[in-house]
Amino acid sequence: MSTIAIAADHAGFELKQFIVQHLTQHGYTIKDFGTHSADSMDYPDVVHPLCKALGNNEFEKAILICGSAQGVAITANKYPFVRAAICWLPEIAKLTRQHNNSNIICLPARFINPADAWECVELFFATAFEGGRHQNRVDKITNLAC
């Protein structure tokens, strides 16, 4: 199994710990970019290093968590090779992999229960990109000339 990168801010710390525990139980190796406590911190401080590692091909996919998932998604999507998707329902996690070839799942810790978050993560990592008609759309994401 591959190594999974994960990071969270203080609002996502508890959910991150829950997800890490489940990933470890399922045989994944984890690279935890932090935070390592529930003390207040700024999410860009963990998102940027994770995204840089993703860009260096250290990981294929990653998990980001904050209170609403908005902040981590906005920050991650500044990188041209990132397709970070906010997921709060399993069907969204599945569709973002199938249709958008998303490589980072962003979980809203204040708006999702741990069991649903885990189901989203499982589907995100188990679902393949469909390609085909979706590839053209994905290619246009970073093509600013469209």
Question: Any idea which residues carry the catalytic annotation?
Answer: 66, 99
The amino acid sitting at 36 is H
145-138-71 Cα angle (round to 5): 95
How many other CB atoms sit within 10 Å of the CB of residue 79? 17
Two structure tokens written together for 14? 């508890």
The amino acid sitting at 32 is D
